[in-house]
Amino acid sequence: MTRMRWILAACVLGLVLLGMVACQQEPEQALAPTATKTLRPTYTPLQPTATPVPPTATKVRPTVTKTATAAPTATLEPTEEPTATPEPPTATPVPPTPEPKPEQAAAAEEPASKASSGQVAAQPKGSPLTYNPEFPGPAPASEPPSHDGHTNPLSGVHVDDPNTINRRPVMVRYGNDSAARPHSGISQAEVVFEDVMDAWWITRITAVYLQHQPEQAGPLRSARPVNVELLPAFDGVLVFSGASIGVTQLLAQQPFDLIHEGSNGDLFYRGTDRPSPHNLYTSVAAVRERMGALGWERNVDLRGFAFSGDAPAGESVSRIDIPYPKTSTVAWTWDSGAGVYRRWVKGAPYTEHLTGEQIGCANVVVLYAKHWESDIVEDSRGSTAIGIALKGSERVQIFRDGQVIEGFWWRKEAGDLWQFVDGNGNHIPLKPGQTWIQFVPTTYKLGIS
């Protein structure tokens, strides 16, 4: 019995132990569903959180789209013309004269004064600079006029001190980019030449100073083949920033007197009013002092221009449009009150930097000549210098006293000044005062009204 009791007791104990083990396993099995339920709700809410992200990105796109829509302002920046078009309305009140703003006048007179350039190149690109002068027009019927010791031979104006004109002209080469305007000292030059630059994209200017010597002249830029033509005509001294290898060789082949940064660097300085390279200046007075120190100063017989206060008969002209490249389009409007033609560039008044006044010239001479792209490379893009045939004879238009006189220019030798004659070879007189000579291709058709 005792054995049986122990067996029963052992069985009971075993059952108890099995029950305890089973009780301990049930909570663990209960935890599994609990863990599953806990993980799923925890993961499921993340879906809505991730789902709203696209709407957030969708809201960003309209913002980007609006930014891109505002880009027309940036689109205008690479092009100067659209930016420059609104300038004239601002400039309208500037002129003290009642002359119309160029844009308004151009719009009103467009059918009658539409300027065009035509086929500007007279020779294939890469042609040499050498050419044979042609004389299709009449030769002068008399010798070039001479002037007394008190008359400026380049302006026809009386001067009290002959020493201010019995000397060599100083010829300053100006840049004419938009960033280089307005120019300093330009209003004091007796004669100003404007020529088309490489790749037909802009013009540059050469100002001739005899009587006056501004303390600030510039901004200065590099020389071109046209300066090789101009220098001997005036027996002048050229002031410039530098030149390409080809032009440097041309200048070195002649007995020219040259002043540039490489030879007389102390005469040049950089201004702080505009960025380089459009801020290089010099003093014409300082240049004259240096010319004296170098022994370059001497009297020069400047004969060629005729002057008269009486205007020859001509056709009335109140406005002139010259179809230079779009970076340098030029217009002149007649100011009857001042008796001069006022200059405009790209629709804005062209002013003297030292005074802020709009330039006015007694004479505007449009000198037609053959142009072509020479074999002298000027930059890394392969642009070549423009050749201009400035010896010989061709058409000329002289604008003075609110009218135009048609004629011919005539120049036989490099050392001659240009003479302007009518169909009979008689000299066409300029009005005493400043003269602006515009070199243009023979194909140019001006807008005249």
CATH number at residue 344: 3.50.90.10
The answer, yes or no, to whether residue 129 has pLDDT greater than 50, is yes
- 18 inside domain: no
- 40 inside domain: no
Is the Cα torsion angle 404, 406, 407, 409 positive or negative in sign? positive
Distances (CA, A) of 17 to 5, 12, 119, 311: 18, 9, 115, 138
- 54 inside domain: no
- 37 inside domain: no
pLDDT 10s digits, 278-323: 999 999 999 999 999 999 999 999 999 999 999 999 999 999 999 9
- Its domain, for residue 228, covers 80-448
Give the dihedral of Cα atoms 388, 389, 394, 399; nearest 10 deg. 30
pLDDT top residue among 300 and 65: 300
Question: What share of the chain has pLDDT > 70, as a percent?
Answer: 75
The answer, yes or no, to whether residue 107 has pLDDT greater than 60, is no
- 299 inside domain: yes
- 143 inside domain: yes
The answer, yes or no, to whether residue 340 has pLDDT greater than 50, is yes
- 73 inside domain: no
- 66 inside domain: no
Quick one: pLDDT band at residue 363, thresholds 50, 70, 90? very high
pLDDT, residue 274, reads 94
pTM: 0.76
| DSSP string computed for 72-125 | HHHHHTT-HHHHHTTHHHHHTTS-SS-PPPHHHHHHHHTTT---B----BSS-T
Please count the structural domains in the chain.
1
Are 235 and 300 contacting, i.e. CB atoms less than 8 angstroms apart?
yes
Q: What mean pLDDT is predicted for residues 32-59?
A: 37
What is the average pLDDT score of the chain? 82
| Burial track 101-128 (b if 16+ CB lie within 10 A, e otherwise) | bbbebbeebeeebebebeebbbeeeebe
Quick one: pLDDT band at residue 114, thresholds 50, 70, 90? confident
Taking alpha carbons only, the member of 341, 371, 63, 96 closest to residue 229 is 371
Are 329 and 344 contacting, i.e. CB atoms less than 8 angstroms apart?
no
